[in-house]
Amino acid sequence: MAALTIATGTGNWFSALALGVTLLKCLLIPTYHSTDFEVHRNWLAITHSLPISQWYYEATSEWTLDYPPFFAWFEYILSHVAKYFDQEMLNVHNLNYSSSRTLLFQRFSVIFMDVLFVYAVRECCKCIDGKKVGKELTEKPKFILSVLLLWNFGLLIVDHIHFQYNGFLFGLMLLSIARLFQKRHMEGAFLFAVLLHFKHIYLYVAPAYGVYLLRSYCFTANKPDGSIRWKSFSFVRVISLGLVVFLVSALSLGPFLALNQLPQVFSRLFPFKRGLCHAYWAPNFWALYNALDKVLSVIALYFLSLV
């Protein structure tokens, strides 16, 4: 709190927030970590030890590589730093391997990659109109948004205890959103396309991006009442957006297309054959729970309608 007070006086409260949460992340280094710690260690080993032609076939561990190619390359780059910490972590056959140096490397890799998340939050804050605000720092929308994002408790748990790289990925998405607010639509579309090839779960956001870009970028003019001027539709802009998505996808999937491995890659990204509930996460329990929850919600709505 003292650091925040000092930073407020100099106008550097954002830096104080970012530094404070970074120090907290460092304190969380020795805490419990889940099986995802081993998942990412194994992916480091796969991408470092094996040729690209085997990345999406390797199955020594049950934690096979099932993220898109950009994330695989991300692990590959990290692995070339990891070898200076502990070479043994990069052995595909060292299942469930852990050491103090491995722990430090993987924890610090998440903290380091959060630099992108911090930058993206700052860019998002620039998009907020802070003119009509109170004098108190806690009343400033930019301050509130920064606290909610940088100190997101769920993100701290999932990334820095459980162990994942969601901060880095959310950074890509937030930076993409910031670019859209800044009317830099092509950059926003490019960043989101890159994000999809890092983690395909973000596909659920794609329809919203498509509608927004169609409305705000592909239609170049509005009527005085704010409605769409249909004749202003630009095919050139649609083609340019499509070209951005195509080029990013070609860069990501091109090597596997050349190796005739796209079906194998997609089978890892969308593992329908193993069932939508992962066998390692008690699917029977969760399937029964979800079904019961749905039945109870329908029954509750029915009786509420009778009241």
Q: The dihedral of CA 72, 76, 82, 86: what is its sign?
A: positive
**Is there a single domain that holds both residue 287 and residue 145?**
no
pLDDT, position 239: 95
Name the domain count of the chain.
2
pTM of the predicted model as reported, rounded to 2 decimal places:
0.83
**Is there a single domain that holds both residue 194 and residue 295?**
no
pLDDT, position 90: 95
Residue 2 lies in a domain: no
Q: What burial letters (b/e) apply to 33-48, b meaning 16+ CB within 10 Å?
A: beeebbbbbbbbbbbb
**Is there a single domain that holds both residue 213 and residue 237?**
yes
Tokens 């099932």 belong to which residue?
A: 66
Contact 47, 79 (CB under 8 A): yes
**Is there a single domain that holds both residue 206 and residue 301?**
no
Q: How far apart are CA 144 and CA 153, in angstroms?
A: 14
**Is there a single domain that holds both residue 218 and residue 302?**
no
Q: How far apart are CA 281 and CA 236, in angstroms?
A: 47
**Is there a single domain that holds both residue 177 and residue 227?**
yes
**Is there a single domain that holds both residue 88 and residue 217?**
yes
Q: How far apart are CA 93 and CA 188, in angstroms?
A: 40
Beta bridge partners of 233: 219
Of 196, 195, 228, 197, the residue nearest 211 (C-alpha):
228
pLDDT, position 274: 64
**Is there a single domain that holds both residue 78 and residue 19?**
yes
Residue 6 lies in a domain: no
Residue 78 lies in a domain: yes
**Is there a single domain that holds both residue 285 and residue 219?**
no
Q: How far apart are CA 150 and CA 24, in angstroms?
A: 11
User: Count of residues for the chain?
Assistant: 307
Q: What sections of the chain are H helices per DSSP?
A: 2-10, 13-27, 35-49, 69-82, 100-126, 141-150, 153-157, 166-181, 185-196, 206-213, 235-258, 262-269, 283-306
DSSP run (H or E) holding 181: helix 166-181
**Is there a single domain that holds both residue 167 and residue 293?**
no
Q: How far apart are CA 276 and CA 238, in angstroms?
A: 34
pLDDT along the chain (307 residues), means of 10: 41 88 96 93 96 95 93 97 95 93 97 97 87 70 92 94 96 96 95 96 92 90 79 90 96 95 93 61 64 87 84
**Is there a single domain that holds both residue 206 and residue 282?**
no
Residue 1 lies in a domain: no
pLDDT, position 1: 39
**Is there a single domain that holds both residue 69 and residue 49?**
yes
CA-based Rg of the chain, rounded to a whole angstrom? 23
pLDDT, position 7: 43
Q: Which domain holds residue 296?
A: 275-306
